[in-house]
Chain A
Amino acid sequence: MVVATLILILSTALLLFYLQAICQKILRRRAHQEFYHSIVNANRLEFPFVRSAIEDYDAPLDYSRFRMQLKCDFLALTYLLKNAANSSQKLSADEKLLILNFRVLFFFLGVFHLVGIGEKVFMLKLTSILQYFGNVLGERVSKIRFGNMTASEYLLSL
C-alpha cells in the first residue's frame, strides 16, 4: 500500500516533469531569436514588460494586472498564429502542445497564487511561451513582402 502510494506520487510528478521538459526543449529552439519585437510593437503586446518587471526590477507582483496582460497577449498571439500569414489556418503540433502547456501553467498560476508561492516562476514560463509564439509569427511575417517592404517593416511604419 505504502509502496503503491509512493509510486503514484513520484510517477505523477515525473510525468508532469517530463512533459514540462519536452515543452521547454521546444521553446529553447527559438529562445535566441529576436523576431518577436516587431510583433510586440505592432500589436502592443505587454508580456516583455511583465518579464522585465519581474526579472529586472524585482517589483512587487501586481498579480491581477499581470495575469490579465498575459491572458490578453495569449489570446492575441494564438489568433494571429492561426490567421496571420498562415494559408492553412491551422496550428502546428508543437504550437498546439505549447498552447496546452500555457493553459495548464495558467491554471497552476492561479492555484499557486492562492497558496502564495512560486507565482514569478510561472509568470516567467508563460512569458517564454508567448515569446516563442511571437518569434514564430515574426519569422513568418518577415518572409512576406508588401511591395518594397517586409511585413514587419510595414507594420512598424504604421
Chain B
Amino acid sequence: MIASLVVHGLQYIGYVLEVFVLVVLMTQGRWKKYPEFALFAVGYASIDAILRPFILFHYGQTSLQYRYCYWLSDAALTLGAFLLISFFFKRACAEKKDHWPLLRSILSSVFILITLISVFSISSHYHRLIGDFIVEFQQNLYFGCLVLNTLLYVMLTQMEKMDEELNLLVCGLGVQFAGPAAMMALIYLTGIGAQAPAFFELCAQACTLATWLTWLYTLICKRSEESASVREREETSAFAKVSMRRLSEV
C-alpha cells in the first residue's frame, strides 16, 4: 500500500517535471539550441504522460494490453535515446570535425543493427513477450545505451572547452539508463517474484525523476547564470559608457 502510494506520488511529480521541462524548452526558446533533445523530451512526455495513462485507464494495470504498451514503448524510447546520444556525439565532435564522419558511420551502423535485432527478437517472441525475455532484452538495451552514454561523457570531459549544459544532459541520461539496467539485472538474477513489478516501478520512477530534475536544473539554472552574466556585462558596459562621457566632458 505504502509502496504503491510512493510510486504514484513519484509518477505525478514526474509528470509535473516533464511539463515544466517542455514549458521551459518552448517558452525560453531553448529548443532552438537543442532541437533533438526537445524532440526526445516531447516524445518521452507524450508516451509517459499521455499514452501510458490512457491505456492504463482503459484496460487496468494488470491487463496484457497495458503491459505490452509499457514494454514496447519502453523499447522505442530506449532506441530514441540511443539516437539522441548519437546526435550529442555530433555536438561533441564540433571541435574536431574530422572525427565525425567515421563516428557517424559507426553510430549509424550500430543503431541500424540494434534496431533490426530489437525488431526481430520482439517479433519472434511477440506472443510470450512478458516475462524473462523482455527483462533480459531491455536490460541489454539499457546497458548498451549506458556504455555509449559513458563513452560520450568521457569524450565531453576531454574537450578543451567543456560544454557544461551538454555534460549535465548526458549525466541525466546516464541516470536514466544505469538505474533500470541495474534493477533489471537484479530482477533477472534473483527473480524477486511477486514483488518484482512494484520494485521495478519504484526504482524506475525514482531514476526518471532524477533524470528530469537534472534536465530541468540544466535548463533553468544555466539559463539564469547566463542571463546574470549578460546583465553584469550590460551594467559594466553602461558604466564604462558613462565614465567615458564624463571623461570627454572634462
Contacts and interface: CB of A to CB of B under 8 A. Distances in A.
A27 B64 CA distance: 46
A31 interface: no
Interface in B109-136: 136
Contacts of B181: 7, 11
B175 A19 contact: yes
B182 A15 contact: yes
Contacts of A4: 136, 139, 185, 188-189
B225 A21 contact: no
A61 B73 CA distance: 53
Given A18-B171, A22-B171, A29-B221, A5 B146 contact: no
A135 to B, nearest CB: 14
B182 A11 contact: yes
A117 interface: no
Contact of B182 (A1, A8, A22, A28): A8
A55 interface: no
A17 B175 CA distance: 9
A19 B211 CA distance: 10
Interface string B196-237: 000000000001001001100100010001000000000000
B14 interface: no
B151 to A, nearest CB: 12
Nearest to B150: A14
A25 B167 contact: yes
A15 B178 contact: yes
B146 A11 contact: yes
A7 B167 contact: no
B214 A7 contact: no
Nearest to A20: B171
B-side binding surface: helix, strand, loop or mixed?
helix
A1 B175 contact: no
Contact of B185 (A8, A14, A25, A29): A8
Contacts of B95: none
A26 to B, nearest CB: 8
Contacts of B189: 1, 4-5, 8
Contacts of B179: 11, 15
Most-contacted residue by chain A among B146, B153, B178 (CB, 10 A): B178
Given A25-B164, A25-B168, A7 B175 contact: no
Nearest to A24: B171
Given A4-B185, A8-B185, A15-B178, A29 B146 contact: no
14 contacts: A4-B139, A5-B185, A8-B182, A8-B189, A11-B142, A11-B182, A12-B178, A12-B182, A15-B175, A21-B171, A21-B174, A22-B171, A25-B167, A26-B217
Interface of B: 136, 139-140, 142-143, 146, 150, 153, 164, 167-168, 171-172, 174-175, 177-179, 181-182, 185-186, 188-189, 207, 210, 213-214, 217, 221, 225
Given A18-B171, A22-B175, 12 more contacts: A4-B188, A5-B185, A7-B140, A7-B143, A7-B181, A11-B142, A11-B146, A14-B146, A14-B178, A25-B167, A93-B213, A94-B217
Chain A to chain B: the 10 pairs with minimum beta-carbon distance, closest first: A11-B182, A15-B178, A8-B185, A18-B174, A11-B181, A7-B185, A14-B178, A12-B182, A4-B185, A4-B188
